[in-house]
């Protein structure tokens, strides 16, 4: 059969087919969809529409996620640098806390200057350094730092002068000695 | 409004995982493929349906997996897959081994698969060409009816009676129809060659 005869045959077959088309089994198409996973157009369009809607949310989440990673890296770097610096540089000696008694205790005596000097001397016997200074007519005896060792002996000494121990949390002592009759 | 399908629209639809493109291919070419499978490969109706189903599955999968880039027409691809599927069924089915197809045993057919592909390609291309002819030409239905009657062996007198013209006018009309149709069919010949 030559080319022209084959072409005529194809044309004849098509013309006959148009007169009497073959009824197709729709199950074939369903099997094709089942096998290939194709979904109805409306379903695919709806899914794509939902994807489009969720796109800004996804982008924002992704944006946050990216920043979060940068933030974590930055915080880790800072922490590592801080630890290195701490290890390399020896710590500075902590300044000794100066703590002053919130309020001076009052001691009324006939001769404040003498009592002030006596108190200072008594304190020094226990190794407690005290300063004495005059303030107007009064004399002030002040101890800036009371160590735990000092506190052992202090109650008896203060009792002698009818003075109280400094309140908890204070490590200083201040006594204002006032002349009797002022 | 009815969607106008061209090859690109069909491929895009299938690639998007939708059904409409494949449905169009099924109804546009399925009947012709089935007819060809039964006639050319002497397949039973069930086997021809199986061949059609597998042809469509492989076609859709090829499109989805980007194996088919659209550099040839859809029916070129359908022809290639279709012929291979028919040969596969013939080889699988022992009952067909005694049948001669166009004077050839089934084993020999494999060597001539290219010719079969070409024949099927032309067949499907003619279907498309006639669609275009119907859309573009005036009195297309009358022209195709006249040609059909002639191909079925009708005499000029019978055709003239059918289309309501005298015999002389019918002869001229038929000649004119073939001339007009040839323009559309030339494209298919070029494609196949």
A76-80, A104-108, B99-103, B138-142: segment of lowest average pLDDT: B99-103
- Say which of A3, A21, A44 has its CB closest to residue B17: A44
Kindly state the tokens that stand for A41: 């157009």
Residues A83, A10 share a domain:
yes
Is residue A79 in a domain? Answer: yes
Residues A82, A8 share a domain:
yes
Residues A112, A83 share a domain:
no
Is residue A129 in a domain? Answer: yes
Residues 38-77 of A with CB under 8 A from B: 38-41, 44
Counted domains in chain A: 2
A33 Cβ under 8 Å from any chain B Cβ: yes
Is residue A87 in a domain? Answer: yes
The answer to whether B37 touches A16, Cβ cutoff 8 Å, is no
Burial (CB < 10 A; 0-12, 13-18, 19+), residue B30, is buried
Cα–Cα distances in angstroms (integers) from residue B101 to residues B94, B106, B120, B170, in the given order: 15, 7, 15, 38
**Which top CATH class is B1-110?**
mainly alpha
Do residue B35 and residue A13 have CB atoms under 8 angstroms apart? yes
Residues A127, A73 share a domain:
no
Helix ranges restricted to H, chain B: 7-15, 20-41, 45-64, 74-92, 106-111, 113-136, 140-151, 156-163, 167-192
Residues A120, A51 share a domain:
no
Residues of B in contact with A37 (CB under 8 A): 17
DSSP for residue A158: H
Give me the total of CB pairs closer than 8 Å, taking one residue from chain A and one from chain B: 100
Average of per-residue pLDDT across B99-106? 72
Q: Is the pLDDT of residue A94 over 60?
A: no
pLDDT digits (tens, 9 = 90+) for A25-57: 999 999 999 999 999 988 888 888 888 888 888
What integer best gives the mean pLDDT of chain B?
Answer: 89
| B contact test, residue of A2, A20, A36, A37 with most B CBs within 10 A | A36
Is residue A124 in a domain? Answer: yes
pTM of the model: 0.62
Distance from CA of B96 to the nearest CA of A (A): 23
Of A58, A92, A126, which residue constitutes the final position of a domain?
A: A92
Residues A117, A31 share a domain:
no
Is residue A150 in a domain? Answer: yes
pLDDT (0 to 100) of residue A102: 57
Of A68, A92, A116, which residue constitutes the final position of a domain?
A: A92
Residues A131, A56 share a domain:
no
* Cβ neighbours, 10 Å, residue A171: 19
Cα–Cα distances in angstroms (integers) from residue B98 to residues B93, B94, B95, B105, B114, in the given order: 11, 8, 7, 7, 22
Residues A119, A143 share a domain:
yes
Of A69, A92, A115, which residue constitutes the final position of a domain?
A: A92
Half-sphere exposure of B23 (CA within 13 A, CB side): 13
Residues A45, A128 share a domain:
no
pLDDT (0 to 100) of residue B97: 66
Residue linked to tokens 């735990």: A148
Residues of A in contact with B128 (CB under 8 A): none
Residues A80, A126 share a domain:
no
pLDDT (0 to 100) of residue A92: 66
Is residue A100 in a domain? Answer: no
pLDDT digits (tens, 9 = 90+) for A121-170: 888 888 888 889 888 888 999 888 777 777 777 888 888 888 888 877 77
Residue of A nearest to B125 (CA): A10
Structural domain of residue A116, as residue ranges? Answer: 105-179
pLDDT (0 to 100) of residue B158: 92
CA-closest candidate to residue A176, choices A113, A92, A122: A113
Residues of B in contact with A3 (CB under 8 A): 189
Do residue B123 and residue A31 have CB atoms under 8 angstroms apart? no
Helix ranges restricted to H, A37-147: 41-88, 112-125
pLDDT digits (tens, 9 = 90+) for B15-43: 999 999 999 999 999 999 999 999 888 89
Kindly state the tokens that stand for B151: 């191909």
Average of per-residue pLDDT across B87-109? 76
* Cβ neighbours, 10 Å, residue A113: 14
Q: Where are the domains of chain B?
A: 1-110
Residues A109, A147 share a domain:
yes
* Cβ neighbours, 10 Å, residue B144: 20
Residues A81, A130 share a domain:
no
Angle made by CA atoms B109, B112, B117, in degrees to the nearest 5: 105
């Amino acid at each position: 059969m030559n080319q022209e005869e084959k072409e005529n045959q194809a044309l004849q077959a098509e013309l006959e087919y148009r007169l009497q088309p073959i009824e197709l089994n729709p199950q074939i198409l369903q099997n094709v969809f089942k096998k290939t996973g194709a979904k109805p157009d409306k379903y695919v369009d709806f899914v794509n529409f939902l994807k489009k809607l969720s796109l800004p949310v996804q982008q924002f989440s992704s944006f946050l996620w990216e920043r979060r990673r940068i933030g974590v890296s930055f915080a880790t770097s800072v922490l590592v640098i801080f630890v290195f610096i701490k290890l390399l540089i020896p710590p500075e000696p902590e300044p000794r806390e100066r703590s002053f008694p919130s309020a001076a205790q009052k001691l009324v005596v006939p001769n404040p200057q003498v009592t002030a000097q006596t108190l200072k001397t008594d304190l020094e016997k226990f190794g407690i350094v005290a300063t004495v200074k005059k303030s107007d007519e009064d004399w002030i005896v002040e101890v800036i730092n009371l160590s735990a060792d000092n506190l052992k002996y202090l109650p008896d000494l203060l009792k002698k002068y009818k003075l109280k121990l400094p309140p908890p949390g204070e490590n200083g002592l201040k006594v204002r000695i006032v002349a009797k009759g002022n | 409004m009815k969607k106008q399908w061209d090859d690109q629209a069909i491929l895009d639809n299938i690639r998007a995982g939708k059904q409409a493109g494949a449905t169009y291919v099924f109804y546009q070419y399925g009947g012709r493929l089935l007819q060809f499978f039964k006639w050319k490969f002497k397949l039973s109706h069930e086997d021809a349906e199986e061949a059609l189903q597998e042809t469509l599955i492989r076609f859709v999968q090829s499109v989805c997996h980007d194996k088919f880039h659209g550099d040839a027409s859809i029916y070129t691809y359908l022809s290639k897959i279709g012929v291979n599927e028919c040969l596969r069924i013939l080889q699988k089915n022992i009952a067909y081994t005694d049948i001669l197809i166009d004077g050839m045993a089934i084993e020999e057919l494999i060597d001539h698969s290219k010719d079969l592909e070409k024949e099927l390609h032309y067949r499907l291309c003619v279907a498309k060409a006639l669609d275009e002819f119907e859309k573009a030409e005036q009195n297309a239905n009358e022209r195709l009816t006249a040609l059909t009657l002639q191909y079925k062996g009708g005499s000029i007198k019978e055709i003239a009676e059918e289309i309501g013209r005298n015999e002389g006018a019918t002869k001229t009309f038929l000649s004119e129809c073939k001339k007009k149709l040839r323009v559309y069919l030339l494209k298919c010949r070029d494609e196949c060659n």
